Structure 1
């Protein structure tokens, strides 16, 4: 019985850790790196926070597409341009990046730490 409990515990830990690891093929940048890349015409900047969060504090040049709405807004994004994704902490943007990757987008970048790290 103890082995079963340990096995279940190990499986839960595996899925928790696996969910936090960056997805292969998705770049990770710091907010400092983002500052150097802002306003490039060949990039798309997406903020996946809620409209309320975006209204309170946002970065010029970022388009607000809340994570829940992203699957319905993919047609408005170019697969030819890099997509840089931000949220409040980096968790929702990581989910958004995985969704974009599954939908065939190739050049995707997540901002580590999100708006919490932006100064």
Structure 2
């Protein structure tokens, strides 16, 4: 299980560093450079990390996963139409927020759709 925790340490470090090579990553999370390289290569094989020119960063796979989580959420499923109606009626942005692990998670913003006429 330590390897799973370490993989998340790598992901967290890549986020904080806005990308890194094996040397910088190893220094940041205090592991050997060779170990950092193995983790980066393994995460790259999952497509959650992408690398180019010796620098690795998080991929947009996290964004895709997060989006799918939103649409799978039951509260979102039952409320998204009502959010749109409320936005249309009030001409205000409506935000759906849930609590997870003691933190507020902004699940959805329904924005005002302004219509402009070109004369």
TM-score, with normalisation over the residues of structure 1? 0.25
Task: Name the one with the larger helix percent.
Answer: 2
TM-score, with normalisation over the residues of structure 2? 0.25
Which structure carries more relative contact order (alpha carbon 8 Å, separation 6+)?
Answer: 1
Larger radius of gyration: 2
